[in-house]
Amino acid sequence: MSKITINTKTIPMLDLKAQHGPLNEEIKSALKDILDSSRFILGPNVSSFEKEVASYHNVSGAVGLGSGTDALYLSLRALDIKEGDEVITTPFTFFATAEAITYVGATPVFVDIDRQTLNIDPSKIEEKVTSKTRAIIVVHLFGQPADMDEIMSIAGKHGLKVVEDSAQAFGAKYKGRPVGSIGDAGCFSFYPSKNLGAYGDGGMLITDKPEISEKVKLLRNHGTTGPYQHSFIGYNSRLDEIQAAILRIKLRHLDTYNQKRRDIASLYTSMLGGAVQCPVEKQDIVHVYHQYTFRTNRRAEVEKDLHDNHVSAVVYYPIPLHLQVAFKYLGYREGALPEAEAAAREVLSIPIYPELEPEDARMIAGVILKTLKK
Ligand SMILES: *Cc1c(COP(=O)(O)O)cnc(C)c1O
């Protein structure tokens, strides 16, 4: 087999240095203010950032938390989901989505995915609803909004709560509404590699239901209802002032960053359309391409040629959650969720970030096309 070499410059999955460069001075000055004030926990930056995120999503409540995983966990706590309950979710996501369900003692129930969107397939949800089902956690995977109308209607019919794991989709829209604002609660992660990334861990829960935001505000701070008064067992999960200050600066650029990701994605799709199965954009949605993930049954060859050309390419995710060792106790077998298993065999994610040069994106697509012509 001939070796393709077109490129010699290393192209990472994500270039955070390129993003931080232009913001450095502004961020340094915000950090200096925090050091001078010495307020590090639950101060003015966290409360301002919460207001800004709530307003961005047109909801009444936003609560800054320690991580996206905590946002998922605390949303389930606030919805009073507990041992003996079942929570429906997708097997094709980052591990934390289902992990959070186990933190409250509930059981994850996996529903297969839609081949086109890679998100939970609404037509397969109802057959998994039992008398124990209490909620659905939908994931807007890779920045692609899930089919919220269908999911909300099933949830309404069966009296289920809906939590949106929007960790990969800050700024994505479903029929004009930002994801995270449609279900009972939306969960975000500010892990550095996310579309809106901090300089450390961070997360947020948004909701239009005051009873949920009030509960999560207490939960994140040990259930504290007054000085050294604890009405229930809480937790320690607070976004800190330093991360909030950085995120406030980056939030102002987020829509521009997301548009740049969308521009790169459309360049990729225009070049790769006939050769691989590109991400779809359904009508009336805005996909924010946390990842650009396509499918091909010649993945190993494509991956190898990209790596030979110093282009990063990663399989998100190689093992669906129902086949993870940690979830063996749930009793799923191989073949149980065939679409998720097929996706795990065929998907490949290639570099996409706001600062990626269009000429590099063209070169990357060129390598893939050359491989597939071999
Ligand atoms: C990143 C991520 C999480 C977890 O967020 P952390 O802030 O790392 O805890 C949860 N779900 C999905 C889909 C994610 O991508």
Q: Mean pLDDT throughout 293-302?
A: 98
**Residue 275 counted as domain residue:** yes
Question: Quick check: CB of 67 below 6 Å from ligand 1?
Answer: yes
**Residue 306 counted as domain residue:** yes
Tell me the pLDDT tens digit for each residue of 188-201: 999 999 999 999 99
Claim to verify: residue 140 and residue 43 sit in the same structural domain: yes
Give the position, in ligand 1's atom list, of the atom nearest the Cα of 139.
13
**Residue 240 counted as domain residue:** yes
The pick from 101, 139, 141, 189 for probing ligand 1's pocket by mutation, whose C-beta has the most ligand atoms within 8 angstroms, reads 189
pLDDT(3) > 80: no
Structural domains of the chain, count: 2
**Residue 176 counted as domain residue:** yes
Claim to verify: residue 246 and residue 348 sit in the same structural domain: no
Residue 6: its pLDDT value, please?
A: 78
Cα 189 to ligand 1 centre (Å): 6
Looking at 211, 226, 251, the residue that finishes a domain is 251
Claim to verify: residue 93 and residue 239 sit in the same structural domain: yes
Question: Quick check: CB of 68 below 6 Å from ligand 1?
Answer: yes
Sign of CA dihedral 184, 182, 202, 313: positive
Residue 267: its pLDDT value, please?
A: 98
Cα 246 to ligand 1 centre (Å): 19
Claim to verify: residue 243 and residue 262 sit in the same structural domain: no
Claim to verify: residue 307 and residue 239 sit in the same structural domain: no
**Residue 7 counted as domain residue:** no
Looking at 251, 272, 296, the residue that finishes a domain is 251
**CATH code of the domain in which 190 resides:** 3.40.640.10
The pick from 89, 97, 291 for probing ligand 1's pocket by mutation, whose C-beta has the most ligand atoms within 8 angstroms, reads 97
Question: Quick check: CB of 291 below 6 Å from ligand 1?
Answer: no
End-to-end CA distance of the chain: 8
Claim to verify: residue 149 and residue 258 sit in the same structural domain: no
Claim to verify: residue 196 and residue 56 sit in the same structural domain: yes
**Residue 8 counted as domain residue:** no
Residue 34: its pLDDT value, please?
A: 97
Q: What dihedral do alpha carbons 189, 194, 197, 198 form, nearest 10°?
A: 60
Least confident of 15-24, 78-87, 185-194: 15-24
Claim to verify: residue 298 and residue 368 sit in the same structural domain: yes
Tell me the pLDDT tens digit for each residue of 219-235: 999 999 999 999 999 99
Question: Quick check: CB of 139 below 6 Å from ligand 1?
Answer: yes
Claim to verify: residue 272 and residue 194 sit in the same structural domain: no
**CATH code of the domain in which 267 resides:** 3.90.1150.10
Give the position, in ligand 1's atom list, of the atom nearest the Cα of 70.
9
Cα 116 to ligand 1 centre (Å): 22
Claim to verify: residue 129 and residue 50 sit in the same structural domain: yes
Claim to verify: residue 240 and residue 228 sit in the same structural domain: yes
Which burial class, exposed, middle or buried, applies to 263 when counting CB atoms under 10 A from its CB (0-12, 13-18, 19+)? middle
Residue 8: its pLDDT value, please?
A: 81
**Residue 44 counted as domain residue:** yes
Residues spanned by the domain of 148: 20-251
With H, G, I as helix, E, B as strand and everything else as coil, classify residue 256: helix
Ligand 1 atom 14: residue of nearest CA: 167
**Side by side, which strands form the sheet with 161-165?**
61-65, 203-207, 185-189, 161-165, 133-139, 86-89, 107-110
Question: Quick check: CB of 94 below 6 Å from ligand 1?
Answer: yes
**Residue 122 counted as domain residue:** yes
Claim to verify: residue 43 and residue 133 sit in the same structural domain: yes
Looking at 251, 267, 282, the residue that finishes a domain is 251
Contacts of 233 (CB under 8 A, 6+ apart): 223
